[in-house]
């Protein structure tokens, strides 16, 4: 087999594996996108449960049962109020009629018996309706909970399947990548060696440039430090001279003021002008 034919065959195989590798990468990207979308748009469990609760508990049947037990409770509460106010009611009914206390007690006992029978009847009706309402609501809630759990689990089962598909695509992509790199290794060997050589030369040059820069930087730091010391010394000397001059002016003008050669106004004017400050 001649060298040209070997290169042509290797090139053909390299191109085939590259095409398959590129296709595998696209499939991996699609699988990841599908997984990311399903994961990022996943509904919260509380939202799913609330939707099912709204669907199964906000029904006309439950609304009617709710109204029914509330109405029954109102009737029962009304009877209880009548029983509690019966003594007052008897007094209002028979006050001034001349009935004896025994007659009033009999009337009270009779009305109390009638009201108690009604209360017992309506209270039993209320308790039955209230129990029926609660059982219906509990049943609806349990149904909502069951449906929500199934829907939520079903959604995440789909997410997990998409994740598995993505991982499978990654594995397939890795296999094609290895084949593609293997098929191109011989064709790229010389170029890689040359690239490595160029890289090493660039590193050497960069190290030299960095060393030169560091030397220049250190020299600059040394010069800057020397300049700073000189500037500090010059500033200290200048400040000392200014202070000495100000002190000398103060002593001279003070002596002139004390001897009457300098007026108070002029002395204070010079002082306010800062001639004696540094």
- Per-position pLDDT tens, the chain of length 278: 465 666 677 788 889 999 999 999 999 999 999 988 888 877 787 777 777 777 777 778 888 888 888 888 888 888 888 777 766 665 566 555 555 566 666 666 677 677 778 888 888 888 898 888 888 888 888 887 878 888 888 888 888 999 999 999 999 999 999 999 988 887 776 556 656 667 888 999 999 998 999 888 888 888 877 777 888 788 887 888 888 888 888 888 888 888 888 888 888 888 888 887 77
Delimit the domains of the chain by residue range: 12-184
Q: What is the pTM of this model?
A: 0.43
In residues, how long is the chain?
278
Distances (CA, A) of 37 to 40, 46, 105, 159, 162: 5, 20, 80, 9, 10
Degrees to nearest 5, angle at CA 115 with 111 and 118: 145
Contact present, 53 and 46 (Cβ < 8 Å): no
């Amino acid at each position: 087999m001649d060298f040209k034919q070997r290169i042509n065959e290797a090139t053909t195989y390299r191109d085939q594996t590259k095409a398959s590798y590129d296709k595998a990468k696209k499939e991996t990207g699609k699988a990841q996108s599908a997984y990311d979308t399903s994961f990022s748009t996943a509904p919260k469990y509380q939202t799913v449960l609330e939707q099912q609760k709204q669907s199964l508990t906000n029904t006309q049947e439950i609304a009617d049962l709710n109204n029914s037990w509330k109405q029954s409770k109102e009737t029962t509460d009304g009877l209880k109020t009548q029983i509690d106010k019966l003594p007052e009611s008897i007094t209002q009914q028979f006050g001034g009629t001349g009935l004896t206390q025994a007659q009033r007690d009999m009337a009270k006992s009779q009305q109390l018996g009638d009201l108690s029978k009604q209360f017992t009847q309506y209270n039993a009706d209320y308790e039955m309706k209230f129990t029926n309402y609660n059982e219906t609501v509990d049943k609806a809630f349990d149904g909502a909970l069951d449906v929500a759990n199934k829907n939520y689990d079903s959604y995440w089962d789909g997410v997990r399947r998409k994740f598995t598909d993505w991982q499978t695509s990654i594995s397939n992509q890795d296999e094609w990548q290895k084949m593609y790199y293997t098929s191109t290794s011989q064709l790229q060997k010389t170029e890689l060696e040359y690239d490595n050589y160029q890289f090493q030369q660039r590193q050497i040059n960069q190290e030299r440039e960095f060393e030169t820069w560091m030397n220049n930087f250190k020299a600059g730091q040394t010069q800057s430090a020397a300049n700073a010391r000189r500037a500090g010394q010059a500033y200290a000397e200048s400040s000392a001279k200014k202070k000495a001059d100000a002190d000398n002016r103060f002593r001279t003008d003070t002596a002139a003021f004390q001897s009457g050669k300098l007026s108070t106004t002029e002395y204070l004017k010079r002082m306010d002008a800062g001639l004696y400050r540094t």
